[in-house]
Amino acid sequence: MSLKKKITMTVNGLTVNAEIEPRRHLVDFLREDLHLKGPHLGCEQGACGACTVKVDGKIIRGCLYLAVQANGCVVETIEGLTKSGALADLQEAFMRHNAMQCGFCSSGMLLAAAELVEKLPQSTREEVREWISGNYCRCTGYHSIVDAIMAVLQARAKGEKIKPVVALA
Amino acid sequence: MNKPVDLKGLVLDPVTNDQRYIGSSEPRHQARRLIEGQGTYVDDIQLPRMGHVVYWRSPVAHMKIGKIHTEQASKMPGVLAIVDGVKMAELCKPWVATLGHLAGMKSAPQYALAIDRACWQGEPVVAVVAETRAQAEDALQFVDVEWEELPAVVSMETALDADTPVIHPELGDNLCFTRTLDVGQVDEVFATADIVAEATFGFGRHTGVTLEPRCQIADYNPGDRRLTVYHSQQAPHMMQDLYCRQFGLSESDVHVICKDVGGSFGIKVHAYPDDFATVGLAMMLERPVKFVADRLESFTSDIHAREHRIKGRIAANKEGDILAFEIDDLTAIGPYSMFPRTSAIEGNQVVNLVGGPYKHQNYRAKLNVVFQNKTPTCQYRGVGHPIACAVTEGLVDLAAQKLKMDPLEFRKRNVIPDDAYPCSGISGIKLEVLSHEQCLRTIEKMMDYSALRKEQAELRKKGIYRGIGFATLIELTNPSPAFYGVGGARIASQDGASARLDPSGVVSILIGVGEQGQGTEGIYAQIAADAVGLSIKNVRIITGDTDVTPYGGGTWASRGAGVGGEAVLLACQALQENILKLAGAILTRSPEELSVRRGHVLDKATGEQLLPFSEIGRIGYFRTDTLPVGFSADLMVTRHYTQKEYPFIFTNGVQASYVEVDPDTGFVKLLKHWAVEDCGRVLNPMLVDEQVRGAIVQGIGGVLFEECIYDESGLLRNGSMADYLVPMANEMPDIEVAHVETPTQSSKLGAKGAGEAGTAGAPGAVQNAINDALAPFNTAVFDQPITCEKILKALGKV
Ligand code: FES
Ligand code: FES
């Protein structure tokens, strides 16, 4: 019943053209129209961070952001960032520390953590806790997430990479 | 940083003949999909012709439903159907959630969609199905229900008063269940004891707030008359059974699939009215229907838990021996007992568990479970344990204080000694083997207790008020059929696992217990790899599908490791035997001369590798012509396990909390938390640590922040994640975890549950720490959540 708007954006490296209702939220567009499963919906009101994605290099809450606002932008989700390897160190550290349980918060948590690693590489444990306080995790108790992020910060400070987690032969 | 896991004391004898994963902190390899955005949660599934349902829910606590006008709404774009309770009841029978072994328990029939009356704010009344969720929500606004507000029973304190309206007149009163227990000489002991301490403990209602809301897709195929339900659920077979019974189908007509589940904590182990309604809609419309609760719906329709008021007292002699406990527990559960586990279990657990860690011989308990017009309550992580523990441990601290004894010493003196097992607790619970003394010694060392006390005393002189609090606890895990089966509930306490050698040499495990984040898949892969004898890389775990997995109970009462894990172990050891038999047939040797190691069959004597598993698979499946006549390879085996020796296998542990209270603002800062946990054999220390920590943080939520707040008319005032506080990373302390391993003898694996003890102990430990900090002011708070305001009130500042 409403007027549709034409939009075009780059999502995980691919150009996307679509005609959508102006009220459609970015995360709904990504999930339902593009079938991306990475960004999740936990609250739909900006409180939990599960819907976090990147628009033009900045993390935003996909549930508060209209898809039409991203018209002409570069959008990245956990899927694209995994493929490009941008999150590899964090993902390996999350594996090693069991920093995810149900995993519903993980894409948002990883995107938030990646921004911290980039912007505040000297962070202390307390600062890491503060930084990720915009992202709910109901399962882990946060301790292991903080451990994982600290491990990446410490590795980066020494110029090292986190070793991939592999199973014994 | 996380200290490397202390593996000292974790070296139990191996359970398998090629053990290298069980007992180690192996990462959860299968979890990689979750951190790459490739999990499949229900909302990620889209089916062709799928409709979306939203529910018109009661806007008030209690109302009479009048005429329902749907003409306008049904003309809205995309609308497929609008269905009310009367129509739904033609398909779905009502249910009554009681258990036979809870004598005298009652509840009223409940419908998938309310008929005539709605009894809590959030009860589903009308279903609107449309082609998209947005269209359904648009149309919902045009559904016009005539209703008349009825008086609501809100306060549990007055629910049984003569002038309070009875919610279900046919039940006669608002009493769901009552129980009393009287053991020993309680009156005499209290009359003659050297000290008696008492307090009234309050517990706010709270809820699970799984990050993924409850959700479901029901799909009915009229061609083969089969119902498929994708569900974010903990107990797929239980739901299959319930759909059968409510809709008159047989098991083979119903297929329940649970893929990734975004948190559960007991919230997703119950059958909700909207679960049935969504299935009913799919059957009516003969097309898939998706329901995903929005956050407000979650707050008003997910089960709540823990609304209790308990008067408790404790008696001790001047030598420092606890002599008796007495409690009077009042709790309210909403208007219906929840299906099928019932809402009386929580209070019943409180009665069973108060005083549980201690040697006393006198105990009296009274329990009243009443109805009210609020969201139904039921089992949520820890079920009754956090309440029992906070009451017991609060009273223990009060007694120690009166006796001027150190609270840790007092506990050491009074816990049931480690060499006293097996024995019965005073409430009648059977305790197989526990380690309170060892746990108390461990935590004392771990936290450097004496140094901490010194620090506390010095800071106190400077006007800094810190407190140390302990909580000793027991937790029931590995349930037997005594939990539900004996009461008539069709909830499996057994679990089955199938182990299959695939032709490529990979082993697939099919099991009824699913993954909700605990690491179920991870530990099953560890057990399978060790028990069959191959790399964890070559193990696949398949769960959450009633068409393919053996029948099982799923995830509840911390049974995944102890019950599910044992089934996996038994199946895998049987598979190894069959592999050896087949290898013997291929090599024309006796299986006794052979063994298995790292994916190969070996000559037992020389260790020479004779056949890789892929060769066993090739011959076993494709060249059976080369095998002796009448030989069957049997490369898939199923074994079931049920724990029958005890009603439950109890675990134990102790927690300590260190906090700072600001007497000017009432603000509590959590400085540090310690936990020592004995869950029997530790299958994976890293996963247990994280179970313990996650559970502790949920317990901390309960004691400090979380509460479903209602107004006098029964309306929920904080139904959003912005208003309902759950712990965030910033307020949480680092949590140190240590293990004591006392395996259960009821299984080969020796594993007990580990999922809930953290939630059970944290509220008591934090409450005691706060009260220790407040001790110089001669005040204490026993009303959870312990907010700044309550602390300031206790201090007489507001
Ligand atoms: S879904 Fe966007 S912040 Fe919760
Ligand atoms: S892992 Fe479940 S919400 Fe974070």
Each residue's pLDDT tens digit, B22-45: 999 999 999 999 999 999 999 999
Half-sphere exposure of B119 (CA within 13 A, CB side): 26
Cα A45 to ligand 1 centre (Å): 6
B516 contacts chain A (CB < 8 A)? yes
Cβ neighbors of A154 (< 8 A, separation 6 or more) are none
Q: What does the pLDDT read at residue B482?
A: 86
**Residue A48 CB–ligand 1 contact under 6 Å:** yes
3-state secondary structure B572-637: HHHHHHHHHHHHHHHHCCCHHHEEEECCEEEECCCCCEEEEHHHHHHHHHHCHHHCCCCCCCCCEE
Cα B296 to ligand 1 centre (Å): 13
B574 contacts chain A (CB < 8 A)? no
Q: For chain B, which ranges sit under pLDDT 70?
A: 1-11
- Beta strand B322-332 with B362-370 is parallel
Rounded to the nearest angstrom, the minimum Cα separation between A8 and chain B is: 22
Rounded to the nearest angstrom, the minimum Cα separation between B691 and chain A is: 7
**Pick among B211, B233, B295 to test the A interface (most A CBs inside 10 A):** B211
**Pick among A98, A135, A154 to test the B interface (most B CBs inside 10 A):** A98
Cβ contact, residue pair A136, B210, below 8 Å: no
**Maximum C-alpha span of chain B:** 89
Cβ neighbors of B425 (< 8 A, separation 6 or more) are B352, B355, B356, B416, B431, B474
Q: Give which of B684, B654, B690, B676 is closest to B768, Cα–Cα.
A: B654
Q: What does the pLDDT read at residue B18?
A: 82
**Residue A41 CB–ligand 1 contact under 6 Å:** yes
**Taking residues A42-69, what's their average pLDDT?**
97
Amino acid of residue B315: A
* Nearest CB to B721; choose among A45, A77, A97: A45
Q: Give which of B280, B292, B437, B288 is closest to B357, Cα–Cα.
A: B437
B495: β partners: B552, B641
**Residue B208 CB–ligand 2 contact under 6 Å:** no
In chain B, which among 615-674 make CB contacts under 8 A with chain A?
Answer: none
Q: Which residue of A has its CA nearest to B259?
A: A102
The token pair that represents A45 in the structure block: 């009101």
- For the entire predicted model, the pTM comes to 0.97
In the sheet with B117-118, reading across from the earlier edge strand, the strands are: B117-118, B63-69, B144-149
| E strands present in B286-397 | 289-292, 304-305, 308-316, 322-332, 362-370
Residues of A in contact with B734 (CB under 8 A): 125, 143, 146
**Residue A135 CB–ligand 2 contact under 6 Å:** no
pLDDT higher than 60, residue A1: no
Cα A27 to ligand 1 centre (Å): 9
Residues of B in contact with A91 (CB under 8 A): 32, 35-36
Cα A133 to ligand 1 centre (Å): 13
Rounded to the nearest angstrom, the minimum Cα separation between B757 and chain A is: 14
In chain A, which among 142-161 make CB contacts under 8 A with chain B?
Answer: 142-147, 150-151
What's the rounded Cα separation, in Å, for the pair B375 and B431? 35
CA separation, residue A104 to residues A41, A137, A165, B725, B731 (Å): 9, 8, 21, 19, 21
What's the rounded Cα separation, in Å, for the pair A159 and B1? 19
A93 contacts chain B (CB < 8 A)? no
What's the rounded Cα separation, in Å, for the pair A58 and A54? 5
Cα B166 to ligand 2 centre (Å): 41
- Beta strand B539-543 with B63-69 is unpaired
**Residue A52 CB–ligand 2 contact under 6 Å:** no
The token pair that represents A105 in the structure block: 């918060």
Cβ contact, residue pair B735, A143, below 8 Å: yes
Q: What does the pLDDT read at residue B10?
A: 52
> Quick one: which ligand is closest to A48's CA?
1
Cβ contact, residue pair B262, A145, below 8 Å: no
B113 contacts chain A (CB < 8 A)? no
B141 contacts chain A (CB < 8 A)? no
**Residue A145 CB–ligand 2 contact under 6 Å:** no
Q: Which atom of ligand 1 is nearest to the CA of A64?
A: 2
Q: What does the pLDDT read at residue A168?
A: 85
Residues of A in contact with B535 (CB under 8 A): 167-169
**Residue A46 CB–ligand 1 contact under 6 Å:** yes
Tokens 């349902």 found at = B53
What's the rounded Cα separation, in Å, for the pair B433 and B740? 12
B69 contacts chain A (CB < 8 A)? no
Cα B237 to ligand 2 centre (Å): 25
Rounded to the nearest angstrom, the minimum Cα separation between B261 and chain A is: 7
